[in-house]
Amino acid sequence: MSSAPPRADSAAESDGWPGRRMLDDLRTQLPMAAMTATGTLAMRLRDLTGRDVIDLESLQELVSLVYRISDVSSSHRAGRYTVDDFGFDPEFTEALMPIFHLIYRKYWRVETFGAEVLPERGGALLVSNHAGVLPWDGAMIKVAVFEAVERHARALVASWFGSLPTLSWLLRRTGQTNGHPDDSLRLLRRRELVLVFPEGVRGTGKPFSERYKLRRFGRGGFVEVALRAGVPIIPISVVGSEEIHPMLADLRPVARMLGLPYFPVTPTWPLLGPLGLVPLPSRWRIRFHPMVRTDERDPGEADDPAHVMRISDQVRDVIQDGLTLDLAERGGVFRG
């Protein structure tokens, strides 16, 4: 009785199989060869035109991204990865970070101020204004925090994102969680940086005519959480997010039919279809304000609604003043 032929994948895994070694060498060497060729082309074009036609720094980041994603994919296929009980995978998140760094620096040209207030260790509650139809402001704040202190801000997101299968998985894997007070309290007691948007969908869904005018911060639930966790609050002002998807109208009947909090009409959506989801290249400014020292107060003050609202209004006023300052200093919306 003849034996069965060896499986192709077993042969491919054999160290002596030349084809496997060639594929491994090609996978390793091809990105660097492409980088070298493109670098040569970039220098030739610079000599001919007198300016940088190809951004080599951005190209290097993209090559690095290819390597990181390949390594992470290999680890995941082999089951070598860890996530916390919220589903957060730091290695996966940092593999994607170069994409968001490019958007941060090259597309929106974000200027960041006051990042020295961010703690290198220990918990803090980051509180920001919210705008832009889609939550790009959260992603840009996370990049700013990581660049400053190499820590991951854990953003709280609206519960309706949980109904979007692929996006909800991606949000959990990159450190986000549903905006429930119990979850934020657990994260803060683990000494994490937690990012909240007290305006919620009322912020991202407000019309362009009300841009940079903060909505109410609810009943100050974020203050209660900070007091109970014994962590400071860091107010954040974001300028630039209001212009990426200027919302001209909200088709509420369509939103109700689709189970969405709003259905925006912008200058590009739904007129241009999927292309209308591409955000406009506005210029951004992110400002971190000095800490509000809720960590130095009695946690029992969280049970006093009047006291909680006073702190909430204080944080809101700081953020609104920051928006006014940065709007005046930014100048043009798209130029620069």
Tens digit of pLDDT per residue, the chain (336 long)?
444 444 444 444 444 455 556 555 555 565 556 556 666 766 776 677 666 555 666 666 666 666 676 677 777 666 777 888 898 999 889 988 888 998 999 899 999 999 999 999 999 999 999 988 888 999 999 999 999 999 999 999 877 666 677 778 888 889 998 888 889 999 999 999 999 999 988 777 888 888 899 988 888 899 999 999 999 999 999 999 999 999 999 898 998 888 888 888 999 999 999 999 899 999 999 999 999 999 999 999 999 999 999 999 999 999 999 999 999 999 889 876
> Cα-Cα-Cα-Cα dihedral of 53, 56, 57, 58, to 10°?
70
Between CA 313 and CA 217 the distance in angstroms is 8
Does pTM surpass 0.75?
yes
Of the candidate CATH numbers 3.40.640.10, 3.30.565.10, 3.40.50.11690, 3.40.1130.10, the domain formed by 96-244+279-330 belongs to 3.40.1130.10
Per-residue tokens: 298: 């009695």
Whether 51 and 44 have beta carbons less than 8 Å apart is answered as no
Task: Please list the residues that pair with 287 across neighbouring strands.
Answer: 113, 237
Domains of the chain, by residue range, sit at 21-40+53-81, 96-244+279-330
